Amino acid sequence: MHLTRLRLHDFRCFEAAEIQPEPTINVITGDNASGKTTLLEAIYFLGRGQSFRQSGPRPAIRAGADAFTVTGEIAVPDGRAHRLGVSRDKRGIRYRKDGEADTSRIDLINTLPLQMVDPNVHRLLEQGPRYRRHFLDWGVFHVEHAFFPAWRRFRRALKQRNRALKARLPKPDIIVWDAELVRAAEIVDASRRAYIDHLYENLPSRTARLLGNEPVILDYDCGWRGDHGYGAALAAGLDQDLRAGFTQQGPHRADLRVSIASASARDWVSRGQQKILTTAMLLTQAQLLYVRRHVRPVLLIDDMAAELGRRYREVLAEEIAALGGQCFLTFLEPGLVPEAVRGGAMFHVEHGVVTRG
Ligand SMILES: Nc1ncnc2c1ncn2[C@@H]1O[C@H](COP(=O)(O)OP(=O)(O)OP(=O)(O)O)[C@@H](O)[C@H]1O
Ligand SMILES: [Mg+2]
């Protein structure tokens, strides 16, 4: 599965642009503010239905224009092709798959699985559990098929329970949601645990190649306390939940901490090593998706050279190339492009104009 054509219309600095990427490596070079990250962002919109930048989709409309459109053609291994489109105007955002207007974000996510490595990837280690949960659940979503329906059920029941807590309803009106929460949480938790086991089997060999033999430890926190299951944790935490006005424990509070040897990764490793470690985690996820579902996700790797010296750039590029899927990598200058990814297509961006080298 890979992108065969990408078209942008009034998307940030691009008035109109089109590229026909290669199924494997695509390198994008260009000066600061030329539009490199924007090209990756456009692809990300196609596969995720939203931006990875904090600001949301509206600012992505080119200054002076009323709407942006991003369209992509996707080739799937069985020979079929799909067209995906995302557009945003004053009324909101719209998704299309093969011309169908009732396309959802989940349709996009399933049609174009993609993973992003941006220059802030180390925040996976440094910042709160939300990023790590997001990382974990991306993999769980694509690989463990029981996960998403259960997660959706859990979110719905959680919303109801929180509403009841906030309104300070009598206890029976709050705990009436617990059975559904517990049923859904058990599936979510089991899916995450199964996925982490696979991650554990595959991550150490990759980190060993990249970082040396310091053991990497993944420490999963399911999001609730005690050894008697989620139902017991909910019952024990009810008074606290009433005081807080929301449900404090559950799979929505899960975490996946990463450490090297005995120290937490963010205390131990340098910034460059953090980047290598987190990128290794993302690449392992991509590999797992192929091993388990025969899907190679598209990788978007922004400013790969940032904070990495030549040696690290080279080993990382070798790992990326070895995955064999479609990848888009950006660099400020051609001189920074590692040997292992020089064989692919080269694109150059200048003031919102892309040319193929
Ligand atoms: N809505 C918009 N309309 C017009 N231009 C925009 C809009 N949003 C962002 N831009 C401009 O798009 C340009 C490209 O930004 P982008 O982040 O893609 O650059 P980049 O090549 O990744 O740069 P860097 O190497 O510094 O990361 C910037 O000059 C930015 O100001
Ligand atoms: Mg950029």
Residues 27 and 67 in one domain: yes
Q: Rounded to an integer, what distance in angstroms lies between the CA atom of residue 51 and that of residue 292?
A: 27
**Structural domain of 13:** 1-113+296-357
The whole-angstrom separation of Cα 34 and Cα 38 is 9
Verify that 328 and 220 share a domain, yes or no.
Answer: no
25-30 β-sheet, strand order: 114-117, 298-301, 327-331, 25-30, 345-350, 353-356
Q: What is the pLDDT of residue 74?
A: 97
Residues 276 and 152 in one domain: yes
323 and 246 in one domain? no
Give the count of domains, the chain. 2
CA of 36 to the centre of ligand 1 (A): 8
What is the reported pLDDT for 236? 97
Note whether 150 and 259 are same-domain residues. Answer: yes
Q: Are residues 189 and 241 in the same domain?
A: yes
Whether 29 lines ligand 1, by a CB cut-off of 6 Å, is: no
Render pLDDT for 151-169 as a digit per residue (tens, 0 to 9).
Answer: 999 999 999 999 999 999 9
Per-residue model confidence as pLDDT tens digits over 95-126: 999 999 899 999 999 999 999 998 888 888 88
The three-state DSSP-derived secondary structure of the chain is: CEEEEEEEEEECCEEEEEECCCCCEEEEEECCCCCHHHHHHHHHHHHHCCCCCCCCCHHHECCCCCCEEEEEEEECCCCCEEEEEEEEECCEEEEEECCECCCCHHHHHHHCCEEEECCCCCHHHHCCHHHHHHHHHHHHHHHCCCHHHHHHHHHHHHHHHHHHHHCCCCHHHHHCCHHHHHHHHHHHHHHHHHHHHHHHHHHHHHHHHHHCCCCEEEEEECCCCCCCHHHHHHHHCHHHHHHHCCCCCCHHHCEEEEEECCEEHHHHCCHHHHHHHHHHHHHHHHHHHHHHHCCCCEEEECCCCCCCCHHHHHHHHHHHHHHCCCEEEEECCHHHCCHHHCCCEEEEEECCEEEEC
Domain check: are 209 and 221 in the same one? yes
* 40 assigned to some structural domain: yes
35 lines ligand 1 (CB under 6 A): yes
Instruction: List the CATH number of the domain containing 98.
Output: 3.40.50.300
The pLDDT value recorded for residue 262 is 58
Ligand 1 atom 24 nearest Cα = 32
Among residues 294, 314, 347, which one ends one of the domains? 294
In a domain, 79, yes or no: yes
Shared domain for 274 and 302, answered yes or no, is no
Which sign, positive or negative, has the C-alpha torsion 270, 131, 106, 189?
Answer: positive
Q: How many helices (H) and strands (E) does the chain have?
A: 12, 14
Question: Residues 254, 132: contact at Cβ < 8 Å?
Answer: no
Answer yes or no: do 78 and 43 share one domain.
yes
pLDDT at residue 122, as a whole number: 81
Q: Please report whether residue 10 resides in a domain.
A: yes
3-state secondary structure 338-355: CHHHCCCEEEEEECCEEE
Task: Give the Cα separation of 150 and 221 in Å (integer).
Answer: 18
- Residue closest via CA to ligand 1's atom 3 equals 62
Q: Whose CA is nearest to atom 9 of ligand 1?
A: 12
Mutation test of ligand 1: which of 34, 116, 301 has the most ligand atoms closer than 8 Å to its C-beta? 34
Q: CA-CA distance, 120 to 105, in Å (whole number)?
A: 24
Residues 137 and 270 in one domain: yes
- Looking at residue 260, its amino acid is I
Q: Assign residue 200 the CATH number of its domain.
A: 1.20.1050.90
What is the per-residue pLDDT for 48? 95
- From the CB of 13, is ligand 1 less than 6 Å away? yes
Question: What is the model's pLDDT at position 123?
Answer: 82
- Structure-token pair, residue 45: 């919109």
Matching residue, tokens 């692919």: 344
Is residue 212 located within the same domain as residue 285? yes
From first to last of its 357 residues, the chain has per-residue pLDDT tens of 999 999 999 999 999 999 999 999 999 999 999 999 999 999 999 999 999 887 777 889 999 999 999 999 999 988 899 999 999 999 999 999 999 989 999 999 999 999 999 888 888 888 889 989 999 999 999 999 999 999 999 999 999 999 999 999 999 999 999 999 999 999 999 999 999 999 988 888 888 888 877 788 889 999 999 999 999 999 999 999 999 999 999 999 999 988 877 566 666 678 888 888 889 999 999 999 999 999 999 999 999 999 899 998 999 999 999 999 999 999 999 999 999 999 999 999 999 899 998
- Give the domain-ending residue among 253, 275, 294: 294
Confirm whether 118 is domain-assigned: no
Instruction: Verify whether ligand 1 is closer than 6 Å to residue 30 (CB atom).
Output: yes
Give 256's strand partners: 220
Atom number, ligand 1, closest to the C-alpha of residue 38? 18
Q: 224 and 185, same structural domain?
A: yes
Of 294, 314, 334, which marks where a domain is finished?
Answer: 294
